[in-house]
Amino acid sequence: EAGVTQFPSHSVIEKGQTVTLRCDPISGHDNLYWYRRVMGKEIKFLLHFVKESKQDESGMPNNRFLAERTGGTYSTLKVQPAELEDSGVYFCASSPLGALNTEAFFGQGTRLTVV
State the residues that interact with other proteins by CB under 8 A. 4, 31, 33, 35, 40-45, 48, 55-56, 58-59, 91, 100-101, 103-109
Q: Are 89 and 36 in contact (CB under 8 A)?
A: yes
Task: Pick between residue 79 and residue 95 the one whose CB is nearest to other proteins.
Answer: 95
E-strand spans in 38-102? 44-50, 53-56, 65-68, 75-79, 88-95
Tell the smallest beta-carbon distance from residue 101 to other proteins (Å): 4
Task: Pick between residue 48 and residue 69 the one whose CB is nearest to other proteins.
Answer: 48
Tell the smallest beta-carbon distance from residue 45 to other proteins (Å): 5
Task: Pick between residue 5 and residue 73 the one whose CB is nearest to other proteins.
Answer: 5
- Residue 77 per-residue DSSP state: E
68 backbone dihedrals φ, ψ, rounded to 5°: -140, 155
